[in-house]
Amino acid sequence: MGVTRLWWVRHGPTHARTMIGWTDRPADLSDRAALARLSVFLPADAPVISSDLSRAVATADAVQHARPRLPHDPDLRELHFGAWEDRSFAEIDTETPDLIRAFWETPGAVRAPGGEGWHDLSARVTRAADRLVGRAPDVIVVAHFGAILTQIERATGQTTTEVFAQGIDNLSVTRLDCDGGNWRVGPVNHKP
């Protein structure tokens, strides 16, 4: 099997100031110039796949053009914040300060009530990424901040805490290459 290059694109901005993992907020795709640059930067014949949340679907639609489209994959969704969905850190900190601090300061097995922990997210997104390896030489994956970070963590071997320091801007591209199960990191958080 040859190299598969996964071109991870973070969806357009939602302007939310709350935790919106599975909350289905639309993306602001009004920056047509940025979308045009992004589309030109991405491989012209690569299939496009996205999470099934509308902010990722709409972003994928905006860069697809003549590229083939793969069905939306719910495994590419953002971290599920459960009872914390669409709420601010400050609000939750007043209710369960120890739990929310453990969730962010020692990420891994700690879960939001009714939601996921980092390990859950990582396993889910890794399954989705593995299904894409070998599908085509290049695949454009429109996803979310946390989903992209899980795969950077996988490719680099960094700890979760270390990878949390990595910025992933809206409409940025992070390329991760897989060759027979070995992952290499290309550009990270590139803004075309």
In CATH, what number is assigned to the domain containing residue 177? Answer: 3.40.50.1240
Q: Is residue 70 part of a domain?
A: yes
Token look-up 């990582």 returns 122
Within a domain: 107: no
For residue 174, is it within any domain?
Answer: yes
pLDDT score of 168 more than 80: yes
Q: How far apart are CA 60 and CA 49, in angstroms?
A: 7
Cα–Cα dist 50/56, whole Å: 6
User: Per-residue pLDDT tens for 129-149?
Assistant: 999 999 999 999 999 999 999
- Please say if the pLDDT value at position 175 is more than 70: yes
| Structural domain boundaries enclosing 26 | 4-78+119-185
Beta bridge partners of 5: 138, 177
- Give SS3 for 183: strand
pLDDT higher than threshold 90 for residue 28? yes
| pLDDT given at position 181 | 81
In a domain, 13, yes or no: yes
pLDDT-derived band at 118, boundaries 50, 70, 90: very high
**What is the rounded average pLDDT for all residues in the chain?**
96
- DSSP state, residue 118: H
Q: How far apart are CA 137 and CA 76, in angstroms?
A: 19
Residue 142 lies in a domain: yes
Per the structure, the count of domains in the chain is 1
Question: Per-residue confidence at 180, pLDDT binned at 50, 70, 90?
Answer: confident
In a domain, residue 127? The reply is yes
What does the pLDDT look like over 65-93, one tens digit per residue? 999 999 999 999 999 999 999 999 999 99
Question: At residue 55, what is the residue type?
Answer: R
| pLDDT > 90 fraction of the chain, expressed in percent and rounded | 96
- Is it the case that residue 1 has pLDDT exceeding 70? no
Residue 10's pLDDT is what? 98
